[in-house]
Amino acid sequence: MHLTDSHAHVYSEQFKTDRDDMLHRALEAGVSTIVMPNIDHTSIDMMLETEARFPQLCFAMMGLHPCSVNKDFERELYLVEEWLGKRPFAAVGECGIDLYWDKTTLGWQQEALRVQIQLAKKHKLPLVLHTRDAFQETAELVEAAQDGTLQGVFHCFSGSRAEAERVIKMGFKLGIGGVATFKNGGLDKVLPGLELEHLLLETDCPYLAPVPHRGKRNEPAYLPLVARRVADLLGRDVEEVAEATTRNAQALFSL
């Protein structure tokens, strides 16, 4: 079984003491590709170092996380644009809107997302979208910019069936992670009946570890637990889920 972790912060400080072992556990678990989202200027060096050390396994994105959007966001975006012009990346991201932590930066977050949408178009790259308490605000900006060339994924999707169908209608994928295994995660009411062509698998590690590891540090080796849960909800074989979601990720990120 070959799996792709479409969203994993394996360069995180939380893996400082055992990063190599953690990545080897991922390979042993069948995770043969890991796509890494950027956060801001502070995460770039470690992300690119991780990619350089594991070039057949780890692939970097470039973007500005909405929780890092502040009064200096334009300076951060200049750096993102500079990097996108230097070398290939798998995607623009992660970007989006997060109103869980701070609603006062909404205007800045909206402008930062607009800029990154245009960068995705310019560089013909997919968008990796973070939305927390802000699905409507994020979807509106993406829909307004959708001219048939935009593609990407709403990562860590945990919304309603109507929101899932809206994502699919705008030509984007749904990133499914550990929330699918949570008793009250809600995805048991969303995923049944959806086609595999619309789904990617992810861990979002070191966050959101799936059951039975919930509350502990997450890592890509736990991705098979997500795959099995998705298979159960869709009434499919886990091998079919792994094959389809890996194929989807390879196509989306041009891996």
The CATH number linked to 218 is: 3.20.20.140
Provide the residue range defining the domain that includes 212: 3-253
The C-alpha atoms of residue 47 and residue 15 are separated, in whole angstroms, by 12
CB 91 within 8 A of CB 255: no
Non-local CB neighbours of 210 within 8 Å, separated by 6+ positions:
177, 178, 180, 181, 203, 218, 222, 225, 226, 229
- Residue 162, pLDDT > 90, answer yes
Q: How confident is the model at residue 238 (pLDDT cuts 50, 70, 90)?
A: very high
pLDDT at 1 over 90: no
Encode pLDDT of 39-87 as tens digits. Answer: 999 999 999 999 999 999 999 999 999 999 999 999 999 999 999 999 9
| Token pair in block for residue 108 | 């800045």
Task: Give the number of domains in the chain.
Answer: 1
Per-chain mean pLDDT for the chain: 97
Tens digit of each residue's pLDDT (9 = 90 or more) over 214-230: 999 999 999 999 999 99
Section 83-97 average pLDDT: 98
